[in-house]
Structure 1
Amino acid sequence: MKKIAIISDIHGNLPALQKVLEDLESRNISDIYCLGDLVDFAPWGNEVINLMKAKNIPCLLGNHDERIAYDLPIIPLSHHSEKETANRFVAINHSKKYITDENKQWLGSLPLNLELTVPTSKVNLNVLLVHASLNSNDEYVFEKDNKEQMLQELKNRQINIVCMGHTHYSYIQKTEDIWVINVGSVGRSKEADRKATYGIITFRDEEILPEIVKVDYNINAVADAIYKSEIPDFYADFLLSLD
């Protein structure tokens, strides 16, 4: 039996990441992969990157990481309000200013996707890790979306499982023996409880057993740190707006 953990979208939230890593240690899971978006929206972007480097956790290049690594322009998103757009510009520019050159270079070295092969007693199972979707680092793939084209491409590539993040909403779907898993967000979950969220996949012979895990962390302390930083209060208010 083999277990792997998939984390994503930390967004500078070091306390949430630390609690997730503690949870994984308690489960004795050492195979950990990160789907990207280490930076923006909380004050610990450098600390998150340094921890990932220290732990040798393989990471993908998320869209936020890409923007910071290559100093890409900030483009307004159609689904954001005027208020969120204004705050987003300030928060991302904060990361551009404070993420160290060394860490920017490290972010720029990260791959856009990663394919894992998990051997079993009869077949090899193939796992594809992406940040957002198979074809884009910015595309949102929600649970309700039609995935026919994506599933066909996965079938053609003989992929058994695809794991993604980006939306900050977790879900598990199985269609035609292909698993589509969104592992949610460690540091900026949009789910009602705002808990740090990640995924575990257990491989028991040819059986695939995915699960979504939610971990408590001190949201109030993170919000207080944002209020005391140059990051807009908007992002602290969001964490505290439990539905």
Structure 2
Amino acid sequence: MKIAIIADIHGNALALEAVLADLKQRGGTDQIVNLGDCISGPLWPRQTMELLRKLDAITVRGNHDRQVATLPVETMIASDRYATSQITQQDREWLGALPQSIVIAPGIFACHATPDDDATYLLDRIKNGGLVRDAETAISARLGNGAGNCKIVLVGHSHRPDIVHTRNGITIINPGSVGCPAYDDDEPAHVSESGSPHARYALLTIDENQPAALPDIELLAVAYDHEKAAQRADENGRPDWAYAIRTGFSKQSL
């Protein structure tokens, strides 16, 4: 069984199209899993929603999906507010109805961040103002028993592609971000940086005849017209997003 894992599209329809084209060129997949944060950002939220509705992916709700679906517009951050202005009430309801977590197949668990919290990093901690992989003991503690008996856990949220195999035999996969390669956050202050403009996703291949074996995992980086996406961010008054899309770094780390 082959599963494509996407996460943190953040309204970057161009990057999503590039990932889907790359996936098709590789022969397709049995299932696509979308780990949330679908549309928040100054890019193409409506077009991204249209692509996702046609995609028939298994999707979990990210923290920004929850915020777009439930918060009063006047309390939203700018990226959520712009996305909300471009989509329909039906789209907001679709985002709000997404599950926080789901078992997508026997032994495979998916959530946006941690099983219990859509805004807590599972694999990462903040060090010197940036995200780094945390200790395995801390990762396992945050995961707890939230994934049940599943031995593969799919997560997003940090925008950093990574793979960790815990001492308890659980393989955790973060595919990285499809459409937002860097960002800065102020609660607490830190940045996340992938270091390049590529659109990221992952391929997970499982031998169903050997369910106890380690899975094959590919962390993939796809080139696309990121300059066009950066220009879109500039046009919508977000030079911070434009810089991140062009470089894979945040201006806050300069």
Q: TM-score, normalising length from structure 2? A: 0.80
The residue correspondences of 1:185-196 to structure 2 (distance < 5 A) are 185-189=177-181, 190-196=193-199
**Alignment partner, residue 18 of structure 1:** 17
- The answer on whether the counterparts of 1:151 and 1:178 sit within 8 Å (CA) in structure 2 is no
- What corresponds to 1:43 in structure 2? 43
Identity across the alignment (%): 28
Q: In the alignment, which residue of structure 2 is the partner of 1:177?
A: 169
SS of structure 2 residue aligned to 1:47: helix
Contact 2:204 2:218 in 1 (8 A): yes
Cα deviations by residue, 1:1-58 (Å, 9 ceiling, x for unpaired): x110110000000000000001111122231010110112232111111111112112
In the TM superposition, 1:86-101 aligns within 5 A as 89-101=77-89
What is the rounded CA distance, in whole Å, between the counterparts of 1:242 and 1:34 in structure 2? 21
Gapped regions of structure 2 (runs ≥ 5): 125-132, 182-192, 250-254
In the aligned structure 2, how far is the partner of 1:198 from the partner of 1:105?
26
Match of 1:104 in 2: 92
Alignment partner, residue 252 of structure 2? none
**Structure 1 unaligned residues grouped into runs of 5+:** 76-87, 119-125
Contact 2:7–2:35 at 8 Å: present in 1 too? yes
**What code does the residue aligned with 1:52 have?**
L
Residue 61 of structure 1, CA deviation: 1.1
Aligned residue for 2:108, secondary structure, equals strand
Deviation, structure 1 residue 90: 2.5
The AA in structure 1 aligned to 2:39 is V
CA distance in 1, matches of 2:73, 2:92: 15
RMSD of Structure 2 on Structure 1 (CA): 2.0
Determine the structure 2 residue equivalent to 1:121. Answer: none
Q: Which residue of 2 aligns with 1:113?
A: 101
Provide the residue aligned with 1:159 in structure 2: 150
Q: Which residue of 1 aligns with 2:188?
A: none
Deviations 1:199-220 (A, max 9, x none): 1111123231122111111111
State the 4+ residue runs in structure 1 displaced beyond 6 angstroms: none
Counterpart check, 1:238 vs 2:213: no
Cα displacement (A) at 1:194: 2.5
CA gap of 1:242–1:138, structure 2 versus 1, over 3 A, is closer
Q: Which residue in the other structure is 1:64 paired with?
A: 64
**How does the TM-score come out when normalised to structure 1?**
0.84
Kindly indicate whether structure 1 or structure 2 has the higher relative contact order, using CA contacts under 8 Å at least 6 residues apart: 1
